[in-house]
Amino acid sequence: MARAMFEYTKTVLNKVSFDVNLFCKEVKKAMKRLLPYEIEELKVFINSLIQKNPELDKCLVYLKS
């Protein structure tokens, strides 16, 4: 079940990556829902999205907590 949540989170983040505010909101939600090792994987995924959309780097603040 937890793995399904991780995959769902990645899908949602991909779909909302056009809007920085929505993206940040979804990142905050993900930090509450995912397991610690999944959060580490999510950081790698988000960094790859930031390479494509540099404006998303505002959400890195939520990954540090």
Cβ proximity of 59 and 27 under 8 Å: yes
Percentage of residues in the chain having pLDDT higher than 90: 88
pLDDT for position 2:
58
> For the segment 16-62, what is each residue's pLDDT rounded down to a tens digit?
999 999 999 999 999 999 999 999 999 999 999 999 999 999 999 98
pLDDT for position 65:
60
The stretch 9-14 carries a mean pLDDT of: 96
pLDDT for position 1:
61
What is the distance between the alpha carbons of residues 37 and 23, in angstroms, rounded to a whole number? 21
Cβ proximity of 27 and 46 under 8 Å: yes
The pTM of the full predicted model, rounded to 2 decimals, is: 0.88
